[in-house]
């Protein structure tokens, strides 16, 4: 595994820098809108763009990645829902293992399908422990993965899963409330995971404003991810506010 992207992420986090990633689902945006958002994301100070979704209806995945790469210079990282969501044009991919569930397909099955393609494309796979957290509603990823999320009232359970993932050699922990979550990942749970693991912690789902982003960062998150806010009329403005808060939380 190339450590180039993971090495950069870990180096920044070790220095005390907080990061902001913007998630784009190819089903939600035209190529024109995606290019505009990519440019605006970079202007706002976003550190990377994630691309993926639980279920893709569109068939322009490669074109979508290429469009983003032409529109901005920040990394474009795949956030695949399954082994079909791969593109040689991306900079890296989160090699997600859904450690919060017990569905073997999401623990190793899709990874086996994807591995030969990743090898051939030269993409950098970043081993990532993907953990669904109860959010008050059934998310798309919960339904599609046929797994139950970890209870939000059991932070010690989440911490044990994250620590096990670190011991298995994963480089990142991603705490996910899900797209359109009613409730975001609770700060008590983030703090418990932060106490037990040394690797960077990503938090996404239900983060719709800078105040919520600050709450996650204060609790121990290293990377904030937002997606659905971009579909709001004032989405760009919200993104600017969140990016500014992430910068304020970063050590110089």
User: Domains along the chain?
Assistant: 17-249 (3.20.20.390)
Radius of gyration of the chain (CA): 16
* Percent of the chain with pLDDT strictly greater than 70: 98
* Least confident range of 2-6, 200-204, 231-235: 2-6
Closest CA to 209 of 237, 186, 177, 185: 237
Report pLDDT for 3: 54
For residue range 44-88, what is the model confidence (pLDDT) as tens digits? 999 999 999 887 777 799 999 999 999 999 999 999 999 999 999
For residue range 79-109, what is the model confidence (pLDDT) as tens digits? 999 999 999 999 999 999 999 999 999 999 9
Residues β-bridged to residue 92? 77
Inform me whether the pLDDT recorded for 9 exceeds 60: yes
Tokens of 42: 């970079």
Report pLDDT for 179: 82
d(CA 14, CA 9): 9
Inform me whether the pLDDT recorded for 180 exceeds 80: no
* Percent of the chain with pLDDT strictly greater than 90: 88
Alpha helix segments (H runs only) across 2-126: 4-14, 31-44, 61-71, 104, 110-121
Mean pLDDT (the chain) is 94
Report pLDDT for 142: 93
User: Do 197 and 176 form a contact (C-beta atoms < 8 A)?
Assistant: no
Inform me whether the pLDDT recorded for 1 exceeds 50: no
SS3 212: helix
For residue range 206-228, what is the model confidence (pLDDT) as tens digits? 999 999 999 999 999 999 999 97
Report pLDDT for 252: 53
Predicted model pTM:
0.96
d(CA 127, CA 214): 26
């Amino acid at each position: 595994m190339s450590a180039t992207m993971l090495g950069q992420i870990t180096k920044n986090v070790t220095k005390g820098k907080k990061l902001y990633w913007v998630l784009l689902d190819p089903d939600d945006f035209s190529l024109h809108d995606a290019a505009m958002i990519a440019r605006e994301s970079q202007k706002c100070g976003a550190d990377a763009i994630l691309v993926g979704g639980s279920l893709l209806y569109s068939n322009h995945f490669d074109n979508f990645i290429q469009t983003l790469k032409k529109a901005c210079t920040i990394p474009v990282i795949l956030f695949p829902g399954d082994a079909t969501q791969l593109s040689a044009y991306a900079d890296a991919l989160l090699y997600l293992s859904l450690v919060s569930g017990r569905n073997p397909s999401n623990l190793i099955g899709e990874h086996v399908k994807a591995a030969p393609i990743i090898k051939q494309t030269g993409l950098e796979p970043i081993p990532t422990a993907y953990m669904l957290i109860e959010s008050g509603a059934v998310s798309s990823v919960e339904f599609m993965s046929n797994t139950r999320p970890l209870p939000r009232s059991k932070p010690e359970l989440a911490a044990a899963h994250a620590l096990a993932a670190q011991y298995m050699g994963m480089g990142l922990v991603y705490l996910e409330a899900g797209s359109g979550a009613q409730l975001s990942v609770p700060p008590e749970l983030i703090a418990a995971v932060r106490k037990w693991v040394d690797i960077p912690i990503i938090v996404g789902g239900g983060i719709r404003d800078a105040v919520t982003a600050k709450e996650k960062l204060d609790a121990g998150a290293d990377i904030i991810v937002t997606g659905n806010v971009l579909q709001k009329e004032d989405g760009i403005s919200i993104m600017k506010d969140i990016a500014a808060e992430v910068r304020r939380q970063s050590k110089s």
